[in-house]
Amino acid sequence: MIILSEDGIRQKLFPFTHTRHTADIRIGILTIREKWEMLTGECVRLVDKEQGLSVPANVIPTQENFEEILQTLNNNLPLQESENLKFINHPKHIFQLNDYALRHDFAIVTKGKRSEIPDQTNGVINPGNIFLEAGAKVSYSILNASAGPIYIGKNAEVTEGNMIRGGFSLGANSVLKMGSKIYGTTTIGPNCVAGGEIKNSVLFGNSNKAHHGYLGDSVIGEWCNLGAGTSNSNVKNTAGEISFKTGDNSEVVNAGKKAGLLMGDYSRCAINTSFNTGSTVGVCCNIFGVTAPEKYTENFTWGNEKYIFEKAAEHIQNWKKMKNQSLTAKEKELLQNLYNKIN
């Protein structure tokens, strides 16, 4: 049995691990947990209540490396990062390693399967690198898989007039709205609505970036909503180095010359919000009243005030209803515990 352990890892991956286990981070097409389960054909565990092999939850498994990972750990040897073995040690790595993960996930999810055929209204480049699951709809769009694979999930829809350059993944039941421009490597998770211009970014699932505006070199959690016209900067006017702060007491981490927005789960922003390079938004924030927010917004921020918890839970429930879901008791308890830590 494999146990995915986040000992010494979790705090490094805030704001995304405030509300999920490290193994449930989405990078590429799948979450880390889903990768392991598809590669091994068995369920993995996230808590060490049973005997099993403890695997760091932030390692990215692939068809090429997963057996080597297991063998190395079985021999009580440390895992070493290499060209064939990558770790997520900071949220920036989610977008920086998304190309690596998506290429390997494409091999995992398409193995032994046959793609649906895009209809003849589309312009297709390198069709052997394009995979459509059952029920996927793509019409009057350009699919260019010459630079990376394109994966369209079950019952997902690419509406008319889209221009997509791989690598790209559109998760199950998600919609890419008309006239969008997608650059690799971009992941839109399940049950999302996406549109506008997106480049090298990851939306975990159940989130919306449905309108015009630019999202680049960024990571958006679950149940987020970016208002129409929202954009982020991903390059400084000085072309200098960009840094992220991801927690109240966290160190500032250099992210290189291209870095955009990290937004935790259940957060939203008003129309025409402009995020600076290296911006971080915590969990359950509602950003409005400012054109350019601060580079770091702490959890449970409402405009310039602290979110009242019951209001926050009510608003999450309203958003969940729009996707025919509801806020569970377990989710509410997790959020209440996080809220209590900052009050």
The C-alpha atoms of residue 96 and residue 93 are separated, in whole angstroms, by 5
pTM: 0.96
Question: Which band of pLDDT confidence, cut at 50, 70 and 90, is reported for residue 246?
Answer: confident
Do 230 and 296 belong together in one domain? Answer: yes
The predicted pLDDT at position 48 comes to 63
pLDDT in tens, 70-124: 999 999 999 999 999 999 999 999 999 999 999 999 999 999 999 999 999 999 9
The C-alpha atoms of residue 262 and residue 339 are separated, in whole angstroms, by 19
Do 162 and 234 belong together in one domain? Answer: yes
- Last residue of a domain, which of 86, 109, 132? 109
The C-alpha atoms of residue 314 and residue 327 are separated, in whole angstroms, by 9
Inside any domain, residue 243? yes
pLDDT in tens, 212-221: 999 999 999 9
- Mean pLDDT for the stretch of residues 285-296: 93
Do 239 and 97 belong together in one domain? Answer: no
Domain that holds residue 32: 2-109
CA dihedral 12, 60, 337, 273 (to 10 degrees): 70
Inside any domain, residue 142? yes
Cβ-based neighbours of 303, under 8 Å, separated by 6 or more: 286, 287, 288, 289
Q: Which residue is listed with tokens 């938004």?
A: 281
The C-alpha atoms of residue 252 and residue 330 are separated, in whole angstroms, by 32
What's the domain count of the chain?
A: 2
Q: Give the whole-number percent of the chain exceeding pLDDT 70.
A: 98
Do 73 and 216 belong together in one domain? Answer: no
pLDDT in tens, 46-61: 976 667 899 999 999 9
Cβ-based neighbours of 307, under 8 Å, separated by 6 or more: 284, 285, 286, 300, 301
Give the pair of three-digit tokens for residue 11. Answer: 């705090």
Do 139 and 273 belong together in one domain? Answer: yes
pLDDT in tens, 162-171: 999 999 999 9
Do 70 and 123 belong together in one domain? Answer: no
Do 179 and 102 belong together in one domain? Answer: no
Give the pair of three-digit tokens for residue 308. Answer: 């009242």
Inside any domain, residue 28? yes
Inside any domain, residue 271? yes
Do 126 and 249 belong together in one domain? Answer: yes
Q: Which amino acid is at 155?
A: N
Q: Within 10 Å of residue 100's Cβ, how many Cβ atoms?
A: 19
- Last residue of a domain, which of 66, 91, 109? 109
Above 90 in pLDDT, residue 209?
A: yes
- Mean pLDDT for the stretch of residues 10-20: 96
Question: Which band of pLDDT confidence, cut at 50, 70 and 90, is reported for residue 341?
Answer: confident
